[in-house]
Amino acid sequence: MRSYFYDDELNDDFCFAYIKHQREIKDDYKYINRNIVFLIMEFFVYRIIMTTIAFLTCKKRHIKIKNKKIVRKEKGKYFLYGNHTQAPCDAYIPNLIGFPRKSFIVVNPDALSIRGTAWFIKMSGSLPVPSHVTGLKNFMNAMDKRVNNNHPIVIYPEAHLWPYYTKIRPYKSTSFRYPIKFDKPAYCFTTTYKKRKFSKKPKITVYVDGPFYSNKELKGKEAETDLRNQVYECMKKRSELSTYEYHKYYKRNDNND
């Protein structure tokens, strides 16, 4: 069991990967590569390597996914939101939920900044957020093509990794603009933790819920907030199924440094 101390639920991050130089995702970043060699390698990386690793890793950690069949009717055309508490399994769980369709995960540029891994991460299904606002058009076009070609788009609205955290951190509504813009349903998955009989590590169960739609009578920020609140309340309720804290989290204050 480990203890973590935090100041800000929105911005504190407990991912300890060392990034010396963050990669810049330029405005003309090539999100979709049609080169035949790239496509062959991408198929091998995702279907053979990534899928196998995802299955074996989640099986080793005794991760069970409940209710994933509810997304099948969407044929890949949906957005999927989850709580960010598992490394490296947060990269694998969405692929098992959406299988056999390839999922694309919205990631921070840090994910592509570790030397020698950028191509593997890209082929595994990453959609890095552009480094400048002028790159948003390119990013949105890529997202549009992916989701309309039957590929789920996965987003971790909490943004930062808190290992084994059992609650849902407050998150912004910004990322909920995408299902509204592309007129697609939103689903969510919530990773929960319970005590196992013969191990200190918890039993992990993932619950999939949805679909969620914004109120058509609302526009702009109000519509985003409405959809965000639906997903947040569902995840919050699911998180109450967690009954075991493998890691402890404490908020610092003026009297506790």
Helix (H, G, I), strand (E, B) or coil at 187: strand
Give tens-digit pLDDT for 244-255.
999 999 998 745
What is the predicted pLDDT for the residue at 163? 92
What is the predicted pLDDT for the residue at 257? 47
Residue 144 within a domain: yes
What is the predicted pLDDT for the residue at 164? 94
Residue 256 within a domain: no
Average pLDDT over residues 143-150: 94
This prediction has a pTM of 0.90
Is residue 211 within 8 A of residue 78, CB to CB? The reply is yes
Give tens-digit pLDDT for 4-58.
899 988 888 887 665 555 678 889 999 998 889 988 988 888 888 888 888 898 8
Residue 176 within a domain: yes
Separation of alpha carbons 59 and 98, rounded Å: 17
pLDDT-derived band at 221, boundaries 50, 70, 90: very high
What is the predicted pLDDT for the residue at 89? 86
Residue 185 within a domain: yes
Distances (CA, A) of 78 to 139, 143, 205: 17, 11, 22
CATH number at residue 143: 3.40.1130
Domain count within the chain: 1
**Single-letter residue type at 14:** F
Q: In the predicted model, what is the mean pLDDT of the chain? A: 89
pLDDT higher for 222 or 24? 222
Q: Residues of the chain with pLDDT > 90: what percent? A: 58
Residue 257 within a domain: no
Per-residue DSSP letter, 125: T
Q: 56-60, 154-158, 187-191, 226-230: lowest mean pLDDT where?
A: 56-60
- Pairing of β 79-82 and β 126-128: unpaired
What is the predicted pLDDT for the residue at 19? 56
Q: Which of 218, 188, 193, 215 is nearest to 204 (CA)?
A: 193
Average pLDDT over residues 81-97: 90
What is the predicted pLDDT for the residue at 33? 87
Average pLDDT over residues 215-225: 93
Residue 83 within a domain: yes
Backbone angles phi, psi at 81, to 5 degrees: -115, 140
- 88: which 2 tokens? 């490296």
pLDDT-derived band at 206, boundaries 50, 70, 90: very high
Residue 68 within a domain: yes
pLDDT-derived band at 75, boundaries 50, 70, 90: very high
* Chain center to CA of 88: 11
pLDDT higher for 160 or 233? 233
Residue 233 within a domain: yes
Backbone angles phi, psi at 60, to 5 degrees: -65, -35
Separation of alpha carbons 193 and 239, rounded Å: 9
- 163: which 2 tokens? 């290992």
What is the predicted pLDDT for the residue at 222? 95
Helix (H, G, I), strand (E, B) or coil at 256: strand
Average pLDDT over residues 136-154: 95
Domain that holds residue 84: 3-251
pLDDT-derived band at 88, boundaries 50, 70, 90: confident
Whether 234 has a pLDDT exceeding 90, the answer reads yes
